[in-house]
């Protein structure tokens, strides 16, 4: 069964991209190319979830991603669905 999480990606003033997965604290990625950041986010999220399962810890439920927190509301970002297989 696949697990899905929304990620948020924004472009900074310096032109670099930064992404994170709000439902998986600590899962982030940064880089010069958005596509690379998304790929790294997917890999990091997959590794994070796999580690939780291996340690028999609960896997966070995915939120709808429809209501960003206050920090994200003040910035422009893209919301991207990550499907972790």
Instruction: State the pTM of this model.
Output: 0.83
Question: From CA 62, how far away is CA 16, in angstroms rounded?
Answer: 27
pLDDT tops 50 at residue 16: yes
Distance CA 19, CA 41 (A): 7
pLDDT in tens, 69-82: 555 555 688 899 99
The whole-chain average pLDDT of the chain stands at 88
Domains defined for the chain, CATH in brackets: 3-84 (3.30.160.250)
Selection from 77, 75, 70 nearest residue 6 by Cα:
77
Q: For residue 67, name the pLDDT band (cuts at 50, 70, 90).
A: very low
3-state secondary structure the chain: CCEEEEEEEEECCCCCEEEECCCCCCCEEEECCHHHHHHHHHHHHHHHHHHHHHCCCCCCCCCCCCCCCHHHHCCCCEEEEEEEC
For the cut 50, the answer to whether the pLDDT of residue 6 exceeds it is yes
């Amino acid at each position: 069964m696949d697990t899905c999480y929304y990620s948020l990606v924004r472009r900074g003033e310096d032109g670099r991209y930064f992404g994170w997965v709000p439902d998986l604290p600590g899962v982030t990625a940064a880089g010069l190319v958005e596509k690379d950041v998304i790929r790294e986010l997917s890999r990091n999220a997959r590794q994070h979830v796999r580690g939780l399962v291996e340690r028999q810890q609960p896997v966070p439920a995915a939120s709808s991603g429809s209501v960003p927190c206050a920090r994200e509301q003040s910035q422009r970002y893209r919301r991207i669905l990550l499907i972790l297989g």
